[in-house]
Amino acid sequence: MSTTLQQMIAAANAAVPRISPEDAHELQRSGDALILDVRDAAELQNTGKVAGAVHVSRGLLEFKVDPSSPAYDAAFRKDRTLILYCGTGGRSALAGKTLRDLGFTSVYNLGGFAVWEAEGLPVEPA
């Protein structure tokens, strides 16, 4: 039996807790967290991003976080809190579940970029 996209997103949402924009911002300001934008580059160009966020499109995430990959980025430590967002929360949930499957334990889903913007929190151009 195959799985639907909605079932995959539901499973990801069950595995990756949501975090409010305010709590995410506080963790970021304390230096305890890395905020990760998993949207496509075109989306970033159109809207900007969370100030200080690192952009890694969802399709490249596994390559950036695995130390055995030539594309590995040392900013992705398993002892660091990672907070993900995308356009509406679906891709960030799926990406968060992938990170959990890869052994990251402190992973949160902020949801969509608009929730951050709606709170008047800092954004920057891509």
Q: Tell me what pLDDT residue 63 has.
A: 96
Q: Tell me what pLDDT residue 27 has.
A: 96
Helices (H), 5-56: 5-15, 21-30, 41-47
This model's pTM is above 0.85 = yes
- The per-residue pLDDT for range 26-65, each reduced to its tens digit, is 999 999 799 999 999 999 999 999 999 999 999 999 999 9
What is the domain count for the chain?
1
Q: What is the CATH number of the domain that holds 119?
A: 3.40.250.10
Strands 123-124, 49-50: pairing kind? antiparallel
What integer is the mean pLDDT of 76-97? 96
- Domain limits at 108? 5-124
Structure tokens at 47: 């809207």
